[in-house]
Every structure is written in C-alpha cells, then in structure tokens.
Copies of this chain bind each other. A is one copy, B any other.
C-alpha cells in the first residue's frame, strides 16, 4: 500500500487531519468555533433555515454554498409537510455526527470502512407538546441508534470505532447532556 492510498483512506486526508490536531495543539485559541442558522417563518408550522456563515480557526468563513432547509409538520400534526419536522432534523444530526467522526477515527487507526449505515429513531408522546399532561416531557423520551458497519477489521474493532466516535461526538454530547440555551426577543 502506498503512502498516497493511506492518506485517502475512507476518503479522509489523514495528513490534514493530523495537521489540524497539531495546529490546535499549538494554538488553542484557534479551536473556537461558532456555528449559526438563520430561520424565517413562512406560514403555519412551515419555516426555513439558511446555513451559510460560521466562525472558525480564527476568522469569519462561509460554506462553499448556502444551504437552505425547510421544516414543517405533517398533516396529522397540523402542518403541510413542506419539510421534515424539527425533531427529525435532530435525529439526522445525531446519525451524521456519529458517522462523520467514524470515518476519521477509522482512518487514523488504519482501518478501511466498506459500508456504514444507521437508523435513528426517537419516541415522543404528544401529551407533552400539546400540554395535556404535565408529567410527559415535550422532547424525545428515548432515542435509539442502530449501526451496521462493515470494514477490514474484526467486529469488536469496528464496534470500537463507533464507541470512540460516540465519545467525541458533539451532537451526542448535546443530546445526552444538554446545553444551555438563551432566547432574546426583539418584538414590535
């Protein structure tokens, strides 16, 4: 196996990965990131977010293109189904974060991944959101992730990749441990 092949294992440029680690080690202040989403109400439960700018590695940056996402409720939840529900985006974020980390960790450990699939499900009781039962929470009561992973390593090593990805996942951390949220309103 040539050095070039190693560098692009799993589509991960491990030289850049390790260079990033070294850069943050050398300049911890470069580690500060701020992500943003801009949302605009459309009608009813339908609204739209734009994701474009962020702050990272010392300066204001922009994604290669502007990403736009609609959210809505389905008809059975008094919406028009112009997009997934907000809570479904949370499940996508969790699957995506665990999977993004996985490829990097596998590459760093010299493991080639062949296939990674996951299904995330989350259970909600409408009695919470509708305010009908104060003992029922608004959010997910339970979230389950089921991974199918194939690669050139024994099953326990592949499972160890997912365990390490979980340990370093930003979204897993936020969902399981929570994060402080402040809300300011300019009304007129």
Contacts and interface: CB of A to CB of B under 8 A. Distances in A.
Contacts of A69: 69, 89, 92
A139 B33 contact: no
Interface residues of A, number: 133
Given A139-B177, A168-B131, A88 B35 contact: yes
B178 A92 contact: no
What number of copies of this chain does the assembly contain? 2
A120 B50 CA distance: 11
A36 to B, nearest CB: 5
Contacts of A73: 100
Given A57-B76, A83-B67, A144-B184, A44 B103 contact: yes
A81 B103 contact: no
B177 A178 contact: yes
Nearest to A143: B181
A72 B11 CA distance: 12
Interface of A: 10-13, 16-17, 20-21, 24-25, 28, 30-47, 49, 51, 54, 56-57, 61, 63-65, 67, 69, 71-74, 76-79, 81, 83-104, 113, 115-133, 137-151, 155-156, 158-159, 162, 166, 168-188
